[in-house]
Structures are given as C-alpha cells and as structure tokens.
Amino acid sequence: MTHPYTHPDAEPLKPLNWTGIEPPVFAGAVPNHVAIVMDGNGRWANSQGLPRTEGHRIGVDAMLDTIAGAVQAGVRNLSVYAFSTENWKRSPAEVRFLMGFNREVLHKHRDQLNAWGVRVVWAGRQPKLWGSVIKDLRVAEELTKDNTTMTLAMCINYGGRWEIVDAMRRMAEDVQAGRLKPSAITEKTIARSLYVPSMPDVDLFIRSGGEQRTSNFMLWESAYAEMVFDDALWPEFSRVNLWNAIRAFHSRDRRYGGAIDRASSSS
Ligand code: IPE
Ligand code: IPE
Ligand code: MG
C-alpha cells in the first residue's frame, strides 16, 4: 500500500490479529470509551538492568497490541496517556527522549493505524510541546481523519486540570464576546469545550503499573468511569490484559447515583 504520507521508517503492515489471539465473547456491551494510563515503563526497564528509555521503546509494542485488541473487541474510542503536563519534571534527557520518541512512533506506525481504520486525534496543550511533535500529530490526524472504526486520542502534553482550565478560558472568551450567557453554561457546554469534543465520557479507566491513582488523566470525562488497576508494568501489558479489564467492567454494577431496591428473599 502506498500513500502520499508513507514514511521511510514505516514498519510493514500487520493484520489486527497478528498474534493469532481472538477476543473472548463478552458478557455485555463493550465500553464505548476506554482510557489507559500506560504506566510502568521505567520500572520495567530498570528491573531488566536497562535505562528507563528502553522501557518506553518496548512499551510501544504493548501500545500497538492493545490498540489492535481494542479494535478487535469493538471499542469505538480509546484514549492513551503518553505524556502528561507533569512529565516535564523529569530529567531533561528523558523529556528530550520522549519528545523525539513520540515523533518516531507516529512516523513508524501511522500507516498501520490508518490501515486498521483508526482515526488519530491529539488531546493536549500546545505550550512547551515541541512544534515538531505537534506537526507530526497533525499529519497523523490528517492522514486518518476519514477513518471510522475507532478514534484514538493520543494524549500528549495532556493534563486533566489543564484541559478544564483551557475549556474555561474558551468559554470565558465566548462570554466576553457576548456569544455565551453565564447562566446558559451547563455540563454539556463544558464537555463541548474539552480537547476532543466528540469523545464521550470514559466508561472504563485502566492503569497499568500497579499504582492506584489517576495522575491527572481524564478528570472531567471519568466522573463515572469504572476503574481497573493492573499490576502488569506497561511493557508487559497486552490485548489480553485489556480484554480482562473489559471482563471486570462487565462484572460491575453501574448505578450513576441511582438505586434499585432489591430486598433479599432469603429468610
Ligand atoms: C509511563 O511509564 C510512561 C510515561 C510517563 C511517559 P513511566 O515512565 O512513568 O514508568 P515508571 O512509572 O517510572 O515505571
Ligand atoms: C502518568 O504516569 C502519565 C503517563 C502514563 C503518561 P506518571 O508516571 O507520570 O504518574 P505518577 O508520577 O506515578 O503519578
Ligand atoms: Mg510512572
């Protein structure tokens, strides 16, 4: 397959099920929006006697496998946390590596994502982020814009609080320009002002690496998400871990604040 955007570093295309593993039959509807904190790369690398950056390299295989598994399972929206607004605190060398590496990932894999019917969108803020990374994100967005199988939000220089701040700023500008009345602001107005307005609320929030915290991911969107924490370090994660998380999701009772009176009949 040739395409005007095909990059010389692009890897050969693989079918979705290149591992030969098929998803299980799920007990319910597949979560519409899955958000993943891909955590544990550095610890994995250090445990192998390698520098942290090697964990990021291997972590990409886990990401591609998980994306393929999400498409196989029928997930329509997937958000992956690749670089947070707090990750600038890391050593200059690691930050520099991650910036260059995100570009490399986009170059090498955008044709693959395109071939799987994935629409790539960027969620994050512009200040501080390398212009070259933003340019590559835009190329991936343009290349994949007509795809409808799954939307993949690449969350780079993303922070949940900043996302809300940026939405507030946009709304304040609308108020100042007379386009928006403060009394007309609702939850919907805010949701429409987030980075990817077309993305629905998160149904399933997964974090690898054993920590049980959000680290500022999808704060607004995850108000009623089911949380699944997986001890696997990100390079050890695969589509099977994703499917197991979907299984756990199906065992949850989502009440959204409501209640059903089910008196036990055993007496
Ligand atoms: C997550 O892995 C990837 C990024 C934040 C870019 P970490 O780099 O946080 O790995 P740990 O948590 O230190 O093991
Ligand atoms: C969250 O992981 C950010 C990403 C996975 C990109 P961190 O490793 O940055 O989170 P903390 O520091 O453990 O909270
Ligand atoms: Mg971490």
Both tokens of 210, joined, read 């054993």
Nearest CA to ligand 2 atom 9: 87
Q: Kindly indicate the confidence band of residue 264, based on its pLDDT and cuts at 50, 70 and 90.
A: confident
- Lateral strand order in the sheet of 33-37: 118-123, 150-158, 77-84, 33-37, 204-207, 226-229
CA distance 124 to 143: 19
What distance in angstroms lies between residue 91's CA and the mean position of ligand 2's atoms? 14
The answer, yes or no, to whether residue 4 has pLDDT greater than 70, is no
Amino acid type, 61: D
38 lines ligand 1 (CB under 6 A): yes
160 lines ligand 1 (CB under 6 A): no
pLDDT at 223: 98
Share of the chain above pLDDT 70, in %: 96
Q: Model-level pTM greater than 0.85?
A: yes
The DSSP letter of residue 249 is: H
pLDDT at 2: 42
Ligand 1 atom with the shortest distance to the CA of 37: 1
CA distance 209 to 236: 9
Helix 52-73 × helix 239-250 angle, to 10°: 50
pLDDT at 265: 66
- Asked whether the beta carbons of 145 and 117 are under 8 A apart, the reply is no
The answer, yes or no, to whether residue 226 has pLDDT greater than 90, is yes
- Report H helices in 74-128: 92-115
Pairing outcome for strands 204-207 and 77-84: unpaired
Average pLDDT over residues 219-225: 98
Q: Give the number of the ligand closest to the Cα of residue 233.
A: 1
Model confidence over 43-101: pLDDT tens digits? 999 999 999 999 999 999 999 999 999 999 999 999 999 999 999 999 999 999 999 99
The answer, yes or no, to whether residue 3 has pLDDT greater than 90, is no
For 209, list phi and psi in degrees, rounded to 5.
Answer: 90, 0
Both tokens of 69, joined, read 């598994």
81 lines ligand 1 (CB under 6 A): no
Closest to 102 measured CA to CA, from 87, 114, 119 = 87
Expressed in percent and rounded to 5, the helix, strand and coil fractions of the chain are: 40, 15, 45
The answer, yes or no, to whether residue 266 has pLDDT greater than 70, is no
What distance in angstroms lies between residue 246's CA and the mean position of ligand 2's atoms? 22
pLDDT at 171: 98
Within a 10 A sphere around the Cβ of 97, how many other Cβ atoms?
A: 17
Amino acid type, 221: E
45 lines ligand 1 (CB under 6 A): no
The answer, yes or no, to whether residue 104 has pLDDT greater than 80, is yes
- Asked whether the beta carbons of 74 and 30 are under 8 A apart, the reply is yes
Catalytic amino acids?
39, 87
